Amino acid sequence: MESVRKRFTDRVVLVTGAARGIGLVLVEQFAREGAKVVATDVDKEELERAMGKSSAREMGVETFFQDVCDKAAWDEISKGIVERHGKLDILINNAGTSNLASIEDTTEEQWRKMMAVNLDGVLFGMQAGIEVMKSHGGVIINMASIAANVAEPRFAAYGAAKSGVAMLTKTAAVDCARKKYGIRVNSVHPGFTETKMVYDFLEALGEDGSRFARDVLKRIPMGRMAKPAEVAAPVLFLASDEASYITGTELLVDGGFTVS
Residues taking part in catalysis: 158
| DSSP annotation of 86 | S
Q: Give me the residues paired with residue 15 across strands.
A: 39, 92
Ordered strands of the 138-143 beta sheet: 62-65, 36-41, 12-15, 90-93, 138-143, 183-190, 250-253
Helices (H), the chain: 21-32, 44-53, 71-85, 108-115, 121-133, 156-178, 196-204, 208-219, 228-239
Q: What's the rounded Cα separation, in Å, for the pair 244 and 233? A: 16
Instruction: Return left, alpha or beta for 74; rule: phi > 0 is left, psi -120 to 50 is alpha, else beta.
Output: alpha
Question: Distance (Å, rounded) from C-alpha 98 to C-alpha 110?
Answer: 9
Whether 129 contacts 140, CB under 8 Å: yes
Distance of alpha carbon 250 from alpha carbon 252, whole angstroms = 6
